[in-house]
Chain A
Amino acid sequence: MDNVLTKSKDVTLLEVLDRVLDKGVVISGDIVISVADVDLIYLGLRVLLSSVETMERLRGAPIVGPMQEPT
């Protein structure tokens, strides 16, 4: 049921995701491939590989509580 409360929670989650997955200190375990000093490809290997699918899952399901067991 997509009520305003659910949507507010969703937008909050998107804001958190943007910061926690993409910003902040990036140290160790990440390979960054750059060309002319511009980071073209971020390979936080495990994060990026899992995050794209999971983010799509998070967006797809109405978020009302703890997630189901991730596959």
Chain B
Amino acid sequence: MKIYVYGIIDSNDGIGESTCGLEKANVYNIPYRDIGVVASDLIGPMPDVTEDNILAHEDVVESLMENFTVLPVRFHTVFDAKENILSMMGDYYTDFKDNLNRLRNKVEFGIKVIWPAEKIKEHITSCYWKSGRKEVVSDDSPIKRFIREKFEKYKIDKEFTEKANRLVTTIDIFLGKSAAEKKLEKLKTENLLLDGVYLVEKDKQSNFKEAFEHIRSARTDLRYLFSGPWPPYNFVILPKKSRPLKISEQATMFDKIIQKQNPVGADKT
């Protein structure tokens, strides 16, 4: 039997009859000093990434969010025994405490914005041609023509990126006002102008939502996805406890991967 972990909370009390977790198991709090690890017993094999398991995990974390500050733990975090958990807590206690204090009473919102990349590039291209672009490169040889094409593409891409930056900045000016922290990714794909997450204080949620509605109605040429309130998945900061692998460890690691890809006798325990 192993122990499946959902999150770290700022309480060492019991958590009562809350949502059940994976395998419909009872979810309980393992106290460590003044904080706790929320977990359930795992009797069967390691859980696969199925819709049921994912949602069961998420449900637990969200129900914790109602009454506690919770640091969500990644799916599939499993320990062999309680001692291992307590030992891990010893290593991470200060980091967890810092995060819990920083994230108290805050929730995460996700904003994704799609813009019509094709159309915008067409527009930029026609502006580029109309502007009587300076003949930076003559076209008297195949190589010069090659360069000219490259250059045109370069200029258009550059303007495209700059336009994206300006638009994201504008959007962020509104949303950022009610946010404590944020993480923005621009042009993850050509059409995905913005993939952003914002950390917002609970009592500023409506301000944030309002700011979003304002943008949505002002820029109807864009498409929006608004999600939240989430537990602060994107805002937990843990120091890197990583290290470069030694050659001997690499061999063991590759063995493990190969074993996993070709399970002998399809043994799943």
Q: Which residues of A contact B (CB under 8 A)?
A: 11-13, 15-17, 19-29, 31-35, 37, 39, 43-47, 49-51, 54-55, 58, 63, 66-67, 70
8 smallest CB-CB distances across A and B, nearest first, come from A32-B242, A23-B233, A54-B49, A24-B72, A19-B233, A70-B48, A47-B76, A67-B50
- Kindly state the separation between the CA atoms of A54 and B1 in the bound complex, as whole angstroms: 24
- Kindly state the separation between the CA atoms of A35 and B52 in the bound complex, as whole angstroms: 36
- Kindly state the separation between the CA atoms of A67 and B48 in the bound complex, as whole angstroms: 11
B54 touches A50 (CB 8 A): no
**Which of A25, A50, A51 has a CB less than 8 Å from the CB of B73?**
A25
B227 touches A28 (CB 8 A): no
B51 touches A25 (CB 8 A): no
Q: Which residues of B contact A (CB under 8 A)?
A: 5, 7-8, 46, 48-52, 54-55, 57-58, 71-79, 84, 88, 92, 110, 225, 227, 230, 233-234, 236, 238, 240, 242-245, 249, 253, 256-257, 260-261
A32 touches B76 (CB 8 A): no
Known: A20-B57, A34-B242, A51-B49. A46 touches B76 (CB 8 A): yes
A29 touches B77 (CB 8 A): yes
- Kindly state the separation between the CA atoms of A35 and B57 in the bound complex, as whole angstroms: 32
A44 touches B74 (CB 8 A): yes
Known: A31-B245, A34-B242, A51-B49. A21 touches B74 (CB 8 A): yes
A27 touches B77 (CB 8 A): yes
Q: Among the interface residues B49, B54, B73, which one has the most CB atoms of the partner chain A within 10 A?
A: B49
